[in-house]
Chains A and B, each alone.
Chain A
Amino acid sequence: MDFETQESSVVKPVEYRNFFTIFTKGNIFSKLSYLIFGLANIHYGQVIKGLIFLLAELVYIFFMVTAGAGQIAQLSTLGTHTQEMVFNEEVGIYEMVPGDNSMLILLYGVIAIVITFAIAALWLLTIFSGDHARAFAESGRHVRNFREDVKSLFNDKIHFSFLAIPVVGISVFTVMPLLYMILMAFTNYDSEHQPPGNLFHWVGLENFKTLIASSERLSSTFWPVLGWTLIWGVFATFSCYFGGMILAIVINSKGIKGKKFWRTMFVITYAIPAFISLRFVATMLGERGIFNVLIQEWGWVESALPFLTNTTWARVSVIVVNFWIGVPVTMLMVSGILMNIPAELYESARIDGANPFVTFWKITFPYMLFVTTPYLISNLIGNFNNFNAIYFLTGGAPNSLDYFKGAGKTDLLVTWLYKLTKDSNDYNLAATIGIIIFVLSATFTLITFSRSGAVQNEEGFQ
């Protein structure tokens, strides 16, 4: 990693220290740089860099003193003063006295914590940066000046510049909100504890208990919804996988002319965004929708079929419609892989007299399965969280009186989560479900990671 030109004649080997020896072996500047950001850098000639580090520290201290520390401290209670009406004697009426807003306390607290973590990371960075400067100076090499440091952001330190936007973006708009929501799972921020009118407070694992193990309506909603989520995930994934694979094999088989034409016929369904075609198919499947009109007119059935209103029908309908949406994508993806299967395999199978079905089971399918296992698993997770297919098609309907408010028989965990957030404001339950979805996804991802060569061996092709 050392691109520096060696200028002085006497060059000793560069000697880096670790986090502890920087302190124990270091001189006073190195030691103090644990407290004063960038001091070592300034001492060894990197003045601008050191001052930038120092400025960051001062800004942080200012923030913590004026706001941050208080915000973190408030986290422990999430507010103590409820909003109330107080009689104002001067004016002679009751006035609203604003109380603490638990939601904002939680949000600001999380922001302060994330900023603290960011500063901790910067702290480590400054310590090692200072040691780097020291090591170079002591071994008689050239210590980079500020201009060279900036230049190195486009070369050996390119990861700092290229990842800056993603890291900041993800910290602000993903990590912070996620932490906030995760913490919410341990509060009682439900429809009856809405700020600013009411405070909410920490309840520990109470939400998980009521959701999973209570005999109330909540857990008798949770388990069936979880079960349907798993069933849906498996059926939706594998139906599209096999459908798309068979379609791709047929289109790519010898003797089919106009491969591009056939491919286009299926890809056309893609021109209209899925949410629109799903809304449309939902209207087509209605009691007086075109499907029911037609099948009665054709004499297939006597009366309208309850495509989206009967539990079993609706569940089958969403899987079938998802098949309709999903097959073209899988077809496109599989087409690419099919072309990579060595032609000799098929050639020798043909000479041995294998029919197309044997060729499929013995060559195509094992190859596909090997290559696409990671795709399959991530698709499975994607389908557990397939908000669009369910929300736009049925909206979770048919609703059930046995279920907790608003949840329906085709609701997945995610659509239920969405309803809890948007319609009934039971944020604590939504957050709890979110964590459970995370556990579900993590389990399946771990399986992929331990099984798949493609993930472990990222340099296999280089």
Chain B
Amino acid sequence: MQMKDKVIIGLNLKYYMAAMVLAIVSGVSTLLPYASAEGKVILLLPLLLKLGGTSYVAVSFYAAAILAIATAVFSIVQYQKTSKRGVFAWQVISALNCVAWTSLLFVSKMVLEGAGIYGKFLNKNLSAGFWLGFVSAYLGLIFIMRVTGTNIGYILLTIMSIIWLFPILWIVLTAFREEQGYYVGYFIPHGFTFNNFVELFSHPEVLPFGKWWVNTLIVSAFGCVINTMIILMCAFILSRTRYPGRKTFMNVLMIIGMFPGFMSLIAVYNILKGLGLNQSLAALIIVGAAGAAMGYHVTKGFFDTIPKALDEAATIDGATRFQIFTKVTLPLSSSIIVYIVLGAFMGAWSDYIFPSMLFGDKQASYTVAVGLYWMTDFRRIDSYYTQFAAGALVVAIPIVILFVWLQRFYVEGLSGAVKG
């Protein structure tokens, strides 16, 4: 074949033939039966002529047909006169072709029913023409990417990030949705508004969301600072010092940790009642701090990797253990500190079980977790749904701020975690 002799720097022409065949198949598939239902068979091109409209769903049909033919034509043109720029342009067309064919999966029903061609259409009525076009579009794209040396992972990443962002997008759209209520039969809201956020904060007697938010911030901020200190101190002792009973202490912690934590909440509640602390925010902070040391493992693992020679050198220089902790170990541990801070904050911020048990029906003391859960009760969900979404976004604010601030440390922080 002619291709074998061609060499173009930056292109891997070994896969060109396969890509071209698939592109042509994709083009030809527009001529095959597109769908068959209710005893009728319809091709894609005649369908286009029938449609005639310019609604946004019909556009996908035009795009799919045009792009499928375009990619076939392009492959033949490039075969005659291959150039690097040409192949990259072909790759872009091919990618768009995939998008168009994929979107047909979502709009076929609307278009075919809307145009009055089929009464009750389901995607299982799609025929060879569609599936051939769909599969060859993707396979063709893969081979073109091989020709251009582009990482095929982009396809996977694109599809996965759409799936992963879909629920988040739904929360955001719901938060700004003008129409209230849980059951809506469409994805994009008909009207946008900030009112859900305003409503969230404007009825403190029914829904003291502002107070919940402040409560949670207080608990999380205190908890974050106190727990981080306790975890660091505990991990330091268990990692950098040796004393009789150390192993026993670690084993006891491990055994305690194997019981499901909230098994004992009833008893904790009674003890707090005895101490006169029940139904108060202080109780949340104290109980959080009391158990903080249980999460020492990751930090200890990190401290284990700091060379012991550093401690010994400091001891020779006359440093006490306390000074080693503050002046040697801590400055070396910024990434793990970030990890603990994030974990401690998020833990306190989204804890549900204990606050819900602690506060019962004392609504004013709720944290956002308990409050938002209260809003999703099936009796309230319909009237509070959009506000619940708005609340979810408000709750996310401090986390996003913390994340953006700490993000680049975060990956490193976790990587040290597993070594130990």
The residues of A with any CB-CB pair to B shorter than 8 Å are 103-104, 107, 154-156, 158-159, 162-163, 165-166, 168-170, 172-178, 180-181, 247, 250-251, 253-256, 262-277, 279-281, 283-284, 286, 288, 290, 293-294, 297-302, 324, 327-328, 332-333, 335-337, 339-340, 371-372, 374-375, 381, 385, 387-388, 392, 414, 417-418, 421-422, 427, 430-431, 434-435, 437-438, 441-442, 445, 454, 458-462
Contact = CB atoms under 8 A, between A and B. Distances in A.
Interface in B170-198: 170-171, 182-187
B3 interface: no
Contacts of A284: 167, 170
A165 B237 CA distance: 13
Contacts of B372: 275-276, 279
B157 A256 contact: yes
B307 A271 contact: no
Contacts of B419: 371, 454, 461
Query: How many of chain B's residues touch chain A, expressed as a range?
Result: 35 or more
B260 interface: yes
Contacts of A299: 108-110, 121-123
Contacts of A298: 105-109, 123
B373 interface: yes
B236 to A, nearest CB: 7
B291 A174 contact: yes
A378 to B, nearest CB: 8
Nearest to B253: A170
B399 interface: yes
Nearest to B151: A255
Instruction: Give chain A's interface secondary structure class.
Output: helix
16 contacts: A103-B270, A156-B321, A158-B241, A162-B233, A166-B234, A168-B290, A176-B271, A275-B373, A277-B168, A298-B105, A327-B164, A328-B164, A336-B414, A339-B415, A340-B415, A435-B259
A462 B306 contact: yes
A170 B264 contact: no
B259 A438 contact: yes
Given A178-B259, A256-B151, A173 B350 contact: no
Given A177-B271, A178-B256, A247-B160, A267 B234 contact: no
Instruction: Give chain B's interface secondary structure class.
Output: helix
Nearest to A434: B263
B293 A255 contact: no
B403 interface: yes
Contact of A268 (B165, B246, B267, B321): B165
Given A255-B153, A272-B168, A288-B182, 5 more contacts: A169-B293, A174-B256, A251-B157, A256-B154, A461-B305
Contacts of B267: 107, 176-178, 180-181
Nearest to A300: B123
Contacts of A180: 264, 267
B175 to A, nearest CB: 11
Nearest to A333: B414
A7 B395 CA distance: 63
A173 B163 CA distance: 42
B8 interface: no
B84 to A, nearest CB: 16
B381 interface: yes
Nearest to B145: A255
Given A272-B171, A277-B171, A332 B411 contact: yes
Given A273-B395, A300-B122, A324-B164, A438 B258 contact: yes
A265 B164 contact: yes
Interface string B232-267: 011011010101001001000111101110111111
A-B pairs, top 8 by smallest CB distance, nearest first, are A336-B415, A299-B109, A169-B290, A177-B264, A177-B267, A166-B293, A273-B350, A255-B151
A162 B264 contact: no
